[in-house]
Structure 1
């Protein structure tokens, strides 16, 4: 009698059949996902947002956004979201989180979603459908499914700061990139969204329209202006979005406006010195001139 254990052929076939499913389940679990404790709530209430599949220890931002859907994303960027009532959360070592989010009305009508996105590092986002009770609901704008734009080359920021920027003027650059139409229909006068973000804050989006038509299989070189607020400095990120999807991101290091600092140093040094000289001149004018002066005053009396 042999000591080998014979495995039934049925078990072997079953194991081989389940092996691809195991791999699929594991890969699906790695994709960021969001679940809500309730699919509908009114303003003033709160919901619990649960997330899985995120990068370990990732810093995330949760927002309630209008004019959005789970398949088209947030149309209009964070300008469509209730930014003032957003909440930040950090995923744990296994990429999970659970946090309450206050319910507030977004600045645009529903359909609405709870939008969760990474703040730093590799870009990742996920949406969950949500209805703000009592908030207006309007159909989403029609989507042109024929034309689709994709960035073909790395983006860059052209330009440099001048003397006025050194003294606190708004820093400005030109975002240059090449896009190609990978769809089946031409894209006419596309409207891009250019966003600037500083640190952990969400991007501030601004719509910019490029005049022209990009045919199927064609490409175009596009330049869009980017400007920050006066006195801005530090590490910024410029993002490019089209059709609700982020196409590219470009870092931008803005130097400190040392001219403003120099100006205040001069003010703090020159003004006290000038006041001191004026005060000394006044004291010198009103103080007595000596014995001769006193004799003349007494004689006059």
Structure 2
């Protein structure tokens, strides 16, 4: 009995401690955000309820159905493998949980598929995947991952290029991300697919895949140049990131100036257009307003012209002709006020002499 009691105690202790250790391992593995689905398979036109927990509180998330993906390797090809147009946004509650319905659509690439949930805003990135099968969608094996190759940045990245006149008027700003990477692995890296992301403020980066053509041998290095472009009219503080696989290799800030040409255009439009409308309105009013009979239209924009007066001086040695004023109304045409009708003038004397000769 003395030998059996210690053995019994040891067995009980082992039975008690074993579940405790297993529970602690499970909790440690599940410290990150989790995603659960109401169903593991559905067809196009149906919907699935997505439930999450242990996410950052009050954070905006994006839910997508992505193809060519497994939880262990993530989304191969980035968001280009997802049905981006039919995604849904959801905001976590104060405890970091959420629940929202997601419509089932076919991703642009074959399955295996997952429901991919990732943060859109927040200081840190977080993502989680849940296996999901889209009924009727083709399934293809995943590409074999390159083994042994591991890239690392050897020099500080920089953004080459400058903004032109079109950028000042709202054209998309563009730069070239230049850096030197080295292969620290044991196998060559051939034509690696890199992801270039741009983020603005607190928003998460928007990744875009770019394939660099070339081979980097183990222990070798290469100069990598990748184009970066922002949407038209973008301005403010941006961050350009470079990611290979699941590892972010480099980040470079980019201060984009405001397109002042667009502002100047709208200021001029706000001044010129009202002035032109005012002049057109005044011209229409001038055309349609009523005028008196025989009244000529008034021309705007010109000064009033006074009638020209011409003063003619008599020639030297000649007698200026005097013009009698017209007779006043009610008087005889041969009589003017102030003249004596009986007085003789040289003209009347000549007429009398002629008449007297004729009578003789």
Contact 1:34-1:51 at 8 Å conserved across structures: yes
| Structure 2 CA distance for aligned equivalents of residues 49 and 92 of structure 1 | 14
Q: CA deviation at 1:26?
A: 3.6
Pairing partner for 1:263 from 262, 265, 289: 265
Contact 2:149-2:185 at 8 Å conserved across structures: yes
Contact 1:234-1:253 at 8 Å conserved across structures: yes
| Greater relative contact order (Cα < 8 A, sep 6+) | 1
Q: How does 1:100-139 map to 2 (within 5 A)?
A: 100-120=101-121, 121-139=123-141
- Are residues 1:86 and 2:87 paired? yes
Q: CA deviation at 1:33?
A: 2.1
| Structure 2 CA distance for aligned equivalents of residues 51 and 213 of structure 1 | 41
**Aligned counterpart, 2:5:** none
Rg larger in structure: 2
| Structure 2 CA distance for aligned equivalents of residues 51 and 154 of structure 1 | 38
- Aligned residue for 1:261, secondary structure, equals helix
Q: CA deviation at 1:220?
A: 3.2
Pairing partner for 1:146 from 131, 134, 148: 148
**Aligned counterpart, 2:224:** 222
| Structure 2 CA distance for aligned equivalents of residues 27 and 57 of structure 1 | 23
Question: How many equivalent residue pairs?
Answer: 285
Q: 1:253 to 1:214 in 2, by over 3 A?
A: same
Q: After the TM superposition, which of the residue ranges 186-195 and 39-48 deviates more from structure 2?
A: 186-195
Q: CA deviation at 1:241?
A: 3.3
Q: How does 1:168-187 map to 2 (within 5 A)?
A: 168-187=170-189
Contact 1:73-1:245 at 8 Å conserved across structures: no
Q: How does 1:1-301 map to 2 (within 5 A)?
A: 10=10, 23-120=24-121, 121-151=123-153, 155-197=157-199, 205-243=207-245, 246-273=248-275, 287-288=297-298
Q: After the TM superposition, which of the residue ranges 169-178 and 56-65 deviates more from structure 2?
A: 169-178
Contact 2:148-2:185 at 8 Å conserved across structures: yes
Q: CA deviation at 1:122?
A: 0.7
Contact 2:61-2:119 at 8 Å conserved across structures: yes
Q: CA deviation at 1:199?
A: 6.6
- Aligned residue for 2:261, secondary structure, equals helix
Q: CA deviation at 1:186?
A: 0.6
Could you tell me which runs of 5 or more consecutive residues in structure 1 were left unpaired when the two chains were aligned.
1-7, 294-301
TM-score (normalised: structure 1): 0.78
| Structure 2 CA distance for aligned equivalents of residues 80 and 198 of structure 1 | 23
| Structure 2 CA distance for aligned equivalents of residues 44 and 249 of structure 1 | 40
Superposed CA offset, 1:63-92 (max 9, x none): 001121222211221111111111122233
- Aligned residue for 2:269, secondary structure, equals helix
Could you tell me which runs of 5 or more consecutive residues in structure 2 were left unpaired when the two chains were aligned.
1-7, 288-295, 308-360
Q: 1:279 to 1:103 in 2, by over 3 A?
A: closer
Q: 1:115 to 1:199 in 2, by over 3 A?
A: farther
Q: After the TM superposition, which of the residue ranges 144-153 and 218-227 deviates more from structure 2?
A: 144-153
Q: CA deviation at 1:276?
A: 5.0
TM-score (normalised: structure 2): 0.66
Q: 1:126 to 1:180 in 2, by over 3 A?
A: farther
- Aligned residue for 2:226, secondary structure, equals strand
Q: CA deviation at 1:292?
A: 9.6
- The CA RMSD measured in Å over matched residues stands at 3.6
Q: CA deviation at 1:231?
A: 2.0
Q: CA deviation at 1:197?
A: 4.8
Superposed CA offset, 1:7-35 (max 9, x none): x9859975887776565344323122222
Q: 1:81 to 1:25 in 2, by over 3 A?
A: same
